[in-house]
Amino acid sequence: MFDRDLWGEIWNTLSRNKLRTFLTAFGVGWGIFMLVIMLGAGNGLANGAKKGFAGWATNSAFIWTQPTSIPYHGFSRGRRFYFNNDDIGAIIREIPEVEYLAPRNQLGGWQGGNNVVRNNKTGAFSVYGDMPVVMKIQSSAVDTGRFLNDKDVADQRKVCVIGKRVREVLFEPHEDPIGEYIRINGVFFQVVGMHRSIRSSDNAEEDESTIYVPFTTFQNAFNYHNFVSWFSVTAREGTPVSEVEEGIKKLMARRHDVDPNDPMAFGSFNLEEQFDKMNQLLIGINLLSWIVGILTLLAGVIGISNIMLVIIKERTKEIGVRRAIGATPRIIRRQIVLESVSLTLLAGYTGLTLGVGLLELLILAGMEGDFFHRPEVDLRTALIALSVLIVSGLFAGLIPASRALRINAVDALRAE
C-alpha cells in the first residue's frame, strides 16, 4: 500500500540539502551512464565485426597450392603443382566430414586492368569460375534474374551473374542487364542475374565488382583445362573445419607427390579460427566493460552510503524521538533503506536513460563504419543494469540503517 506520508518524508529528507543530494546522485548516474555507453560501444564493435563476416559460412576454410619447400620422390624443392578436377571427387569420396566443397578459378582482380567490355564501356572486375554450391559458403543477394545452376555447369553455358557495381559501369541506369551480353577477355557471356553484397563499404564494393561464370565454362573459355585455383570448403556440424582442412592437405599431398610434412606446400585461410578469435576478443571487451562500469557504479553507491551515514548523524535527535514514541526498528530501517534505494534508482534511471538516448543519437546521426555498427543495448542488458541498481541501493542503505538502529533513544534526545 502506498504510504503518502512516508514518501513525503523521504522527499523532504533528500531535498533538505539539494546540492549534496545532487552530487551524491551524480556519482551513481555517471556510473550507470558509463556502463551503458561501454556496453553499447562493445555491442557496436561486435555488430561491426559480425557484419564483416556477413554472407560467409563461419565454419569454412580456403585451401590453395604453393611452391614446395622440401624435395620429395625425386622432385626438387620449389616445384609448382596445381589442384585439378579429379581432386574434387577424391575429396568428396574420402573426407565425409566435408559438407560443401566449391572449386574456384579467378581471372582479373578488383581495381586491376580492364578485362570486361560492353559496347564502348570497359571495366576492371574479378571474374570467378564457380559451382552453384559456392552460395552455401559465400552468399550474395541476387536482386534480379538468377544465380548459376547445375545445368549451366553441365552444359558449359556462357552465362554470367554480374555484381551491382558491374551493372553501374557497363550499363545505363535505365537499361535492364538481364539477357544482354558482355565480353570477358574476348569471350561473350549472357547476363542471367545481378547480385549485390550483404556487407558494407569497401567490402561491399569489392563484392559487387565480381562476375560469376560456370566453373566448367571458365576452364574451357580461358584455357584453364582441368586446373583448379583453390577450394572453398565447409565442415559438417560438430566437426571443426581445421580437421577437414588438415584432411584435405594430407589427401592432396598424397595425390600430388608432396611431402606431407612440407609446411609451405599448401596455403590456407581458416575462417572458423578467425571468427573464434574475434568472439574471444569481443567477450573480453564485454567483460571489461561490465567490470569498469560496475566499479564506477560501486564508487557512486559508496558515496550514497557515506552520505546516508552523515544524514543519520544529523538526524540523531529525530531518530531518538521516533524511538521514544514507539517507532519500531523495522519502521526506521525501512525508511532509511527506501531513502537509499530511491536516490539510487532516481540517479541510476536518469543515467540509464541518458546513456540509451546518446547511443540512439549516434545511430540516428550515422556515426557508424565498417567496424562499428549499431551501438545499442538490448532490453535484457537494461533489466540487468536496473537489477544492479536496486541491489546497490539496498546495500547502500543497510549500513546506515544498522547505524541508526544502534542509536539509544535517551542518548539521542540529549544530543544537540
**Contact between 219 and 187 (Cβ < 8 Å):** no
Residue 140's identity, in one-letter code, is S
Asked whether residue 295 falls in the same domain as residue 372, the answer is yes
% residues pLDDT > 90 (the chain): 36
Asked whether residue 215 falls in the same domain as residue 306, the answer is no
Q: Is residue 44, in this structure, part of any structural domain at all?
A: yes
Domain assignment of residue 322, given as a range: 4-53+276-414
Q: Is residue 91, in this structure, part of any structural domain at all?
A: no
Q: Is residue 264, in this structure, part of any structural domain at all?
A: no
Q: Is residue 259, in this structure, part of any structural domain at all?
A: no
Query: Tens of pLDDT along 163-209?
Result: 999 999 999 989 999 999 999 999 999 999 999 887 665 567 788 88
Residue 235 pairs with which residues in a beta bridge?
A: 98
Q: How far apart are CA 341 and CA 171, in angstroms?
A: 66
Number of H helices, E strands in the chain: 13, 14
**Contact between 95 and 251 (Cβ < 8 Å):** yes
Q: Is residue 78, in this structure, part of any structural domain at all?
A: no
**Contact between 86 and 78 (Cβ < 8 Å):** no
Query: Tens of pLDDT along 219-246?
Result: 999 999 899 999 999 999 888 899 999 9
Asked whether residue 107 falls in the same domain as residue 16, the answer is no
pLDDT at 93 over 90: yes
User: Which residues 6+ apart lie within 8 Å of 3 measured at CB?
Assistant: none
Q: Is residue 137, in this structure, part of any structural domain at all?
A: yes
Query: Tens of pLDDT along 9-24?
Result: 656 666 666 776 777 7
Asked whether residue 112 falls in the same domain as residue 42, the answer is no
pLDDT at 238: 86
Residue 269 pairs with which residues in a beta bridge?
A: 62
Q: Is residue 69, in this structure, part of any structural domain at all?
A: no
Nearest to 43 by CA among 283, 402, 358, 333: 283
3-state secondary structure of 258: coil
Q: Is residue 86, in this structure, part of any structural domain at all?
A: no
pLDDT at 296: 76
Query: Tens of pLDDT along 117-138?
Result: 998 899 989 999 999 999 888 8
pLDDT at 411 over 70: no
**Contact between 319 and 407 (Cβ < 8 Å):** yes
pLDDT at 281 over 60: yes
Q: What grid cell was written down for 404?
A: 541508526
The tally of CA atoms less than 13 A away on the side-chain side of residue 227 is: 16
Asked whether residue 222 falls in the same domain as residue 285, the answer is no
Per the structure, the count of domains in the chain is: 2
